[in-house]
Amino acid sequence: MAIQVADPVIAPAAEPINEKALLSPDTTKAGDASSDRPASSIDSKSVVEPSVPAAPVGPAKTPPSSPLPGCKPSPRPELTAEEQIKYDEVLATVAAWTEIPNTSAKNAPTAPITENEQLWLTRECILRYLRATKWQVPHTSKRLLETIVWRREYGVEGFTAEYISPENATGKQVIYGYDNEGRACLYLNPNKQNTKQSERQVQHLVYMLERVIELNPPGQETLALLINFKESSASSNPSVATGKQVLNILQNHYPERLGRALISHLPWYVTAFFKLISPFIDPLTKTKMKFNEPLTDHVPATQLIKNSGGEVDFTYDHDVYWPALNAICDQKRKEYKERWVSAGKKIGESEDYLKGGEGSAPITAVAIPAPAPAEEVKAEEPVKP
């Protein structure tokens, strides 16, 4: 996703990246868009890769659908007694919702909560929002409702592969491979920008975020962003306004989803862009951003595309890649919902079970009090400069 701005007349020489200066800790507080679990200490060199059949002749053109066997997420810590009580309180609140506002406008009309919205309210989803709000129960329920309303208003479920296809015709976003902890990797390639500024560019990113989440294996809730600015120009990078819009979406509606952001080949104008948006990036997200590090420290070479330092000879062929990616995701989404239906359509269901995790089982009991409509959602305040 990138927005056209004017190229500078003179490009001064690039300076070494000062990560501390680029992302200073003095920021305005926004929502938390990253996981608070510590980064993996696994070194890609220590990942044992099993013997596999010889790769087909020619470049890879379709994404793998699972990580290497040795690449697994860190175990989740058990909830404390206090955390469990707070989770149960939020679960009781959201399980009682029957009507949801269609928009964030005041006195917006409502409609019954849909099955897909109930399915979205998994155990792990509720816990992600609890962690993002520092376990504040009322704030968690409010943010969950705001996101359901946003998904309705923005039309997330209505973005089809056909509608988004023109945005990805050149492969400016590619989901390929998994990092050392089994996170699906989303490559952002600004140098392949092919469209003019429009809302569909942001919708494109949201669409790809939904797909990368579907491709994550059981037990892995976060994703890896690989942003490569090599051969990009100022005209292929987003405006500050678009950057703020994307940050607002990520931090408010995809909390605890960013596991790692690996950013490479930063030219001077991108460094300046990051400095401008730095005040809007929450401190925990900043800890997940790595600049100009060898990507093989984070992603096994056999799952990393060559132009990022890996061994995978990958060629983006839209006519091959796009239908293959969407077929994989369609199947995973179908199986995910089938498991939810067969387990009784419970709010607060386990994502490990829904993703077919080995040895996982559905939640056996969910407290559902008397039905109650969701409260009115106020329009979100804009991110303050």
Is residue 263 within 8 A of residue 234, CB to CB? The reply is: no
Q: Do 247 and 143 fall into the same domain?
A: no
Residue 342, number of CB atoms within 10 A of its CB: 9
pLDDT over 80 (residue 227)? yes
Per-residue pLDDT tens digits for 9-44: 344 444 445 555 555 444 444 444 444 444 444 444
Q: Do 220 and 287 fall into the same domain?
A: yes
Q: Do 208 and 270 fall into the same domain?
A: yes
Average confidence score pLDDT of the chain: 83
The residue range of the domain holding 269 is 171-315
Q: Do 306 and 330 fall into the same domain?
A: no
Task: Please indicate, yes or no, if residue 158 is contained in any of the structural domains.
Answer: no
Boundary residue ending a domain (315, 344, 363): 315
Per-residue pLDDT tens digits for 182-217: 999 999 998 899 998 899 999 999 999 999 999 999
Task: Please indicate, yes or no, if residue 207 is contained in any of the structural domains.
Answer: yes
Coil, helix or strand at residue 100: strand
Which pLDDT does position 165 carry in this prediction? 98
Which pLDDT does position 36 carry in this prediction? 47
* Residue % of the chain over a pLDDT of 90: 63
Q: What is the C-alpha to C-alpha distance for residues 306 and 242, in angstroms, rounded to an integer?
A: 30
Q: What is the C-alpha to C-alpha distance for residues 38 and 60, in angstroms, rounded to an integer?
A: 33
Q: Do 118 and 226 fall into the same domain?
A: no
Task: Please indicate, yes or no, if residue 125 is contained in any of the structural domains.
Answer: yes
Which pLDDT does position 267 carry in this prediction? 74
pLDDT over 70 (residue 282)? yes
Which pLDDT does position 166 carry in this prediction? 98
Q: What is the mean pLDDT of residues 91-117?
A: 97
Which pLDDT does position 233 carry in this prediction? 67
Which pLDDT does position 14 carry in this prediction? 42
Q: Do 146 and 232 fall into the same domain?
A: no
Which pLDDT does position 232 carry in this prediction? 72
Q: Do 198 and 95 fall into the same domain?
A: no
Least confident of 14-18, 281-285, 314-318: 14-18
Q: What is the mean pLDDT of residues 339-345?
A: 97
Alpha helices in 155-198 (DSSP H): 161-164
Task: Please indicate, yes or no, if residue 85 is contained in any of the structural domains.
Answer: yes
Task: Please indicate, yes or no, if residue 25 is contained in any of the structural domains.
Answer: no
- What are residue 267's phi and psi, to 5 degrees? -80, 170
Prediction pTM value: 0.81
Task: Please indicate, yes or no, if residue 210 is contained in any of the structural domains.
Answer: yes
Task: Please indicate, yes or no, if residue 23 is contained in any of the structural domains.
Answer: no
Domain at 230, CATH number: 3.40.525.10
Which pLDDT does position 339 carry in this prediction? 97
Least confident of 95-99, 120-124, 262-266, 371-375: 371-375
Q: What is the mean pLDDT of residues 58-62?
A: 93
Q: Do 276 and 346 fall into the same domain?
A: no
DSSP labels, 257-285: -EEEEEEE---HHHHHHHHHHGGGS-HHH
State the total domains in the chain.
2
Q: Do 307 and 175 fall into the same domain?
A: yes
pLDDT over 90 (residue 377)? no
Least confident of 44-53, 82-91, 240-249: 44-53
Q: Do 228 and 310 fall into the same domain?
A: yes
pLDDT bin (cut points 50, 70, 90) of residue 337 is: very high
Q: Do 251 and 304 fall into the same domain?
A: yes
Is residue 237 within 8 A of residue 3, CB to CB? The reply is: yes
- What are residue 46's phi and psi, to 5 degrees? -90, -5
Q: Do 138 and 177 fall into the same domain?
A: no
